[in-house]
Amino acid sequence: MSSEFTFWTETFKIKQFEIDTDGYALLSVIADNMQEAAGSHAESLGWSMQSLLDQNMGWILNRFTLDIHRYPKAGEVIRIETWPSGADRLFAYRDFELFDDRGGLILSARTAWLILDIKRRRPIATPEDVKEIGARSIRNARIEIESKIPAPEGDVVKSIRFPIRRSDLDINQHVNNVRYMEWVLETLYEVQNIRPRFLDIQFKSEGKYGEVAISERYDAGSGDHIHRIVRESDGKELCVAIVHNA
């Protein structure tokens, strides 16, 4: 097997329907395109969603951390660079850097993925060749990762109910992780759009069609916010997040 550093790059253009009411690209659109690039890269490495599904396994995004330098506008062409950046017993890590057409940094990000045994609904140990690919990494995205997203303190400042729709689901019949990102951000909007500088989100459980998700925001001082999304019926946490300088 090759010992080369493996790396993927592709571009996408921000379209008119992918912007907020101030004209800036939606973070959800950027996140969708990052995962599209990750999927294409995994496929080229022999670890596509489909090849895993054929073995009753699936890639699950566990954590998504973004440090955002600026928000692009409609018409801008964004270059995504992404690569496996390491792996341990349960997680495979993948970093990203996005650049504009003059080479300016748009954002840096790290993702943590696990492989699920679909029948047993349990993660499996990271396969040796995924570990081996991760061990070849020679580059890190410029981003600070905290070990843990802090638990919220004090009272809920804002909460919004999201009955789970068909249009919220991904191919696995669970809520698309980008939808959770939208629901986190929605609790920050009052009269104006919010474009966070930093967002760290951890996915804990799967939301299903017909359930109701409640997105809660807690203030953490200095413009920081802690978020939880819980299932209404039993309070189970679907995800937690922290947002800086929103």
| CB closer to a copy of itself, 40 vs 140 | 40
Q: How far is the CB of 160 from a copy of itself (least distance, A)?
A: 8
| CB closer to a copy of itself, 193 vs 205 | 193
Q: How far is the CB of 68 from a copy of itself (least distance, A)?
A: 17
| CB closer to a copy of itself, 140 vs 172 | 172
Q: How far is the CB of 15 from a copy of itself (least distance, A)?
A: 5
Tokens read off for 101:
């057409």
Q: How far is the CB of 195 from a copy of itself (least distance, A)?
A: 12
| CB closer to a copy of itself, 86 vs 178 | 178
Q: How far is the CB of 198 from a copy of itself (least distance, A)?
A: 20
From residue 52, alpha-carbon distances to 6, 61, 115 in Å are 20, 14, 9
Q: How far is the CB of 2 from a copy of itself (least distance, A)?
A: 26
Closest residue by Cα to residue 199 from 157, 156, 241 = 241
| CB closer to a copy of itself, 5 vs 56 | 56
Q: Which residues bind to a copy of itself, rule: CB under 8 A? A: 15-17, 19-21, 23, 26, 28, 32-33, 35-36, 39, 49, 160-161, 163, 165-167, 169-173, 176, 178, 182, 185-186, 189, 193
Tokens read off for 190:
């009052």
| CB closer to a copy of itself, 105 vs 160 | 160
Q: How far is the CB of 185 from a copy of itself (least distance, A)?
A: 8
- For residue 146, count other CB atoms closer than 10 A to its CB: 9
| CB closer to a copy of itself, 145 vs 212 | 212
